[in-house]
Amino acid sequence: MVTRPAHNILGEVLPRNYITIYRYLLEIFHPFAVLVAYLKGQWYCGSGAFPISSYSMRPAGCLVSAGHGTPSLPRCTRQMISERFGRGQRTVDMELEAQIDVLRDTRHKYEQVLRLARELSAHLYSMLQTQHALGDTFADLSQKSPELQDEFGYNAETQRLLCKNGEILLGAINFFISGINTLVNKTMEDTLMTIKMYENARLEFDAYRADLEELNAGPRDAVALARMETAQQQFQLQREKYERLRSDVTIKLKFLEENKVKVMHKQLVLFHNAISAYFAGNQQQLEQTLKQFNVKLKPVGAGRPSWLEEQ
Amino acid sequence: MVTRPAHNILGEVLPRNYITIYRYLLEIFHPFAVLVAYLKGQWYCGSGAFPISSYSMRPAGCLVSAGHGTPSLPRCTRQMISERFGRGQRTVDMELEAQIDVLRDTRHKYEQVLRLARELSAHLYSMLQTQHALGDTFADLSQKSPELQDEFGYNAETQRLLCKNGEILLGAINFFISGINTLVNKTMEDTLMTIKMYENARLEFDAYRADLEELNAGPRDAVALARMETAQQQFQLQREKYERLRSDVTIKLKFLEENKVKVMHKQLVLFHNAISAYFAGNQQQLEQTLKQFNVKLKPVGAGRPSWLEEQ
């Protein structure tokens, strides 16, 4: 029977003997890891510093047995704690980290725009339903009230015209929502996933670097030398991985920035022109705006399944 | 110890001996009375034909003891059932009843306008809150995105302008709601209360008339003659009451019609002009419309108590 190996909070595979100790440590350090994520300012990005989905990306065998024959904390956890308490050294790419912070902040703000645009769309949709009913009621009253025929009549006409234009505006707002949603939840998300992999690789790289430094500072017998060689190889492999991911992040950030400006420029111009045309009562300009941006309109309520489909 | 006398469904006072029989009849006839109200088309007016509030208007002593010494149905209930089964005669003022039907229909339609206008106001209020937040978010992004500064900037500006005009429009819609509410729930309600009193008086009048006819058709001994005299007096009193209420209703309907046209003309012109000005982006015309109709604006949310007041 094959059993899956146990992992620690960082996804590192644990030998069976250490499972009980690790579980105990997990109990202690899991809230700590959450706190660390919070202190790193990653809390508001909607995922902790060590999301569940990234556990499986972690390499196996990151556990260290300290030089004195007693089991110690897993390598990456130890590195993370050392960094947090200002003892461990941390590889820092200032420029890249600043760019990453800006991206996280931008994403947060765009998510806010997305949420508000969705709210606006929902309110407008409700308003159109009401205006439609109001138009019908005014039209009915216009026919049945000879002495107020004109007053009800032009109110009915206005509400109906507003409904028609409102549906076009709704189409434009939904196109805007769709564009921002793709940017935030697909394009930016993809780059942020790479960033998370890069951040994990940086932590591992520093953990292996710290190991090597520890071994260098210790006695130099035959066993130690063999260990040092293995540590050197692992350190080298982690450095390559870290540098490859750093390069990936740099490239993705550059492309994302270009893409973001292009997409947002288009969407913001569409949003502004459609809103301005609608609230200036300029039907022609409104229709032209949608044509210009190649927005296809769905009839209001088309997205909702009928009760027959729901059954 | 004073006990209140029991009443039947029409509010008629019952002697103690009849209470048990009446309760039994009530069980049978109450659903019937509801059905009658429905068939009379009064159901949709939001009150049955015999609303609770009108019970107390009924005169006491409407109970008849039939000529043969056995307790019979109370007078008005019997008259109502006779009319329903096409046996009893019913006093009809065709013109007045047609006017009353029109009023009930108009009230129903205006209630619909009122409900929709309230919905519109609520949706607009929500939309303004969203536009306000959207304006702030765009302004913030404009400051922090050098490469999209203009696009975010003019979107922020547009949303803020729309909020400002939207608050004025909200004031106009709320003024419209207030006007229609007074017309429907105060002016029309007052006339409809008089109409209910008139309808009850008509039923009582016909019930006394039927009594008198029954006595006229019976034997003419001394007891019967004394009874006939009493019945004649009661019939006369009821006729006067009925005619006075019919006259009241006629006058109230005339004044209501004049008042309705005046109020609705004003409100519909205001509603149309404010909506048109807002959706044409014409701030000046919007402000002028409110000035013309002497509409005072309350700041958005001013009607809601603060959390301090709520405590």
pLDDT per residue as tens digits for the range B222-276 = 888 888 899 899 899 999 999 999 999 999 999 999 999 999 999 999 999 999 9
Does the pLDDT of residue A35 top 60, yes or no?
no
Q: Which of B88, B108, B129 is a domain's end point?
A: B88
pLDDT, position B74: 78
How far is the alpha carbon of B306 from chain A, nearest alpha carbon, in Å?
A: 25
Cβ contacts below 8 Å, chain A against chain B, sum to 114
A134·B113 Cβ contact <8 A: yes
pTM of the model: 0.72
Closest Cα in chain B to A266: B151
User: Which pLDDT score is estimated for A51?
Assistant: 33
Number of domains in chain B: 2
Q: Are residues B216 and B281 in the same domain?
A: yes
Dihedral of the alpha carbons of B160, B164, B170, B172, in degrees to the nearest 10: -150
B155 has a pLDDT exceeding 50: yes
**Model pLDDT for residues B50-88, shown as the tens digit of each residue:** 333 333 333 333 444 333 333 345 778 888 888 888 777
Q: Which residue has the higher pLDDT, A143 or A294?
A: A143
Question: Which has the minimum average pLDDT: A50-59, A166-175, A220-229, B4-13?
Answer: A50-59
Min Cα separation A49/chain B (Å): 25
Does one domain contain both A56 and A205? no
Domain that holds residue A60: 1-88
A182-197 mean pLDDT: 96
Q: Residue A169: what pLDDT?
A: 95
Q: Kindly state the average pLDDT of the residues B186-192.
A: 96
What ipTM was assigned to the predicted interfaces of this complex? Answer: 0.72
**pLDDT in the model for residue A84:** 82
Q: Is residue B275 part of a domain?
A: yes
A7, containing H or E segment: strand A6-7
Residues in B whose CB is inside 8 Å of some CB of A read 105-106, 109, 112-113, 116-117, 119-120, 123-124, 126-127, 130-131, 133-134, 137-138, 140-141, 144-145, 147-148, 151-152, 154-155, 158-159, 162, 261, 264-265, 268-269, 271-272, 275-276, 278-281
Q: Which segment of A111-120, A281-290, B66-75, B171-180 scores lowest on mean pLDDT?
A: B66-75
Contact B271 A113 (CB under 8 A): no
What's the pLDDT at B112?
A: 97
C-alpha span between B277 and B289 (Å, rounded):
8
Q: What's the CA gap between B189 and B47, in Å, rounded?
A: 11
CATH code assigned at A157: 1.20.1270.60
**Do the domain assignments include residue A310?**
no
| End residue of a domain, out of A88, A119, A145 | A88
Average pLDDT of span B33-43: 48
Q: Are residues B55 and B106 in the same domain?
A: no
Q: Is residue A311 part of a domain?
A: no
Q: Are residues B107 and B74 in the same domain?
A: no
User: Are A125 and A143 within one domain?
Assistant: yes
pLDDT tens string A77-134: 888 888 888 777 788 889 999 999 999 999 999 999 999 999 999 999 999 999 999 9
Say whether A113 and B141 touch across the interface (CB within 8 A).
yes
Contact A147 B261 (CB under 8 A): yes
Residue A118 forms part of a structural domain: yes
Is residue A222 located within the same domain as residue A83? no
Q: Which of B48, B68, B88 is the last residue of a domain?
A: B88
Which residues in chain B are contacts of A137 at CB distance < 8 A? 109, 112-113, 116
Whether B307 is covered by a domain: the verdict is: no
Give the C-alpha separation, B135 to A117, whole Å. Answer: 11
Beta carbons within 10 angstroms of residue A187's beta carbon: 16
B275 with A158: Cβ contact below 8 A: yes
B280 domain-assigned:
yes
| Residue B172 near residue B289 (C-beta atoms within 8 A) | yes
Range A208-236 burial, b when 16+ CB lie within 10 A, else e: bbbbbeebeeeeeeeeeeebbeebeebbe
User: In terms of domains, do A120 and A239 share one?
Assistant: yes
CA distance A276 to chain B (A): 7
Question: Is B308 inside any structural domain?
Answer: no
Average pLDDT value over all residues in chain A: 79
Residues of A in contact with B147 (CB under 8 A): 261
**CA end-to-end span of chain A, whole Å?**
45
The C-alpha angle with vertex A137 and arms to A135 and A143, in degrees rounded to 5, equals 105
Print burial letters for B251-269: b (CB count within 10 Å at least 16), e (below 16).
ebbeebbeebeeebeebbb
Give the whole-angstrom CA distance, residue B38 versus residue B32.
Answer: 10
Given a contact cutoff of 8 angstroms between Cβ atoms, the answer to whether A224 and A211 are in contact is no
Higher pLDDT, A199 or B36: A199
Long-range contacts at B189-197 (CB < 8 A, ≥ 24 apart) = B190/B252, B191/B103, B191/B249, B191/B252, B191/B253, B191/B256, B192/B45, B192/B103, B192/B104, B192/B107, B194/B245, B194/B248, B194/B249, B194/B252, B195/B100, B195/B103, B195/B249, B196/B51, B196/B54, B197/B54, B197/B57, B197/B245
Q: Which residue has the tokens 């190889």?
A: A233
Confidence of residue B128 (pLDDT cuts 50, 70, 90): very high
H helices present in chain B, as ranges: 19-39, 75-84, 94-144, 149-182, 189-217, 222-279, 283-292, 307-310
Cβ-contact B134, B157 below 8 angstroms? no
Asked if the model's pLDDT at residue A222 lies above 60, the reply is yes
Of residues B105, B134, B148, nearest to A120 (C-beta) = B134
Exposure letters B28-58 (e unless 16+ CB within 10 A, then b): ebeeebeebbeeeebeebeebbbeeebeeeb
- Residue A10: per-residue pLDDT: 46
Alpha-carbon dihedral B201, B204, B208, B210, rounded to 10 degrees: 110
Comparing B87 with B169, the larger pLDDT belongs to B169
The token duo for A89 is: 């050294």
Query: Whose CA is closest to A195, among A39, A81, A57, A31?
Result: A57
Query: CA of B103: which chain A residue's CA is closest?
Result: A145
Per-residue pLDDT at B308 exceeds 50: no
The residue written with tokens 């009661």 in the block is: B234
- Whether A191 maps to a domain, the answer reads yes
User: Would the CB atoms of A275 and B162 count as touching at under 8 Å?
Assistant: yes
Q: For the beta carbon of residue B18, count every other beta carbon within 10 angstroms.
A: 18
B123 and A119: CB-CB below 8 Å? Answer: no
- Asked if residue B149 has pLDDT above 70, the reply is yes
Tokens of A237: 């492999």
- Residue closest to B15 by CA, chosen among B57, B74, B66, B58: B74
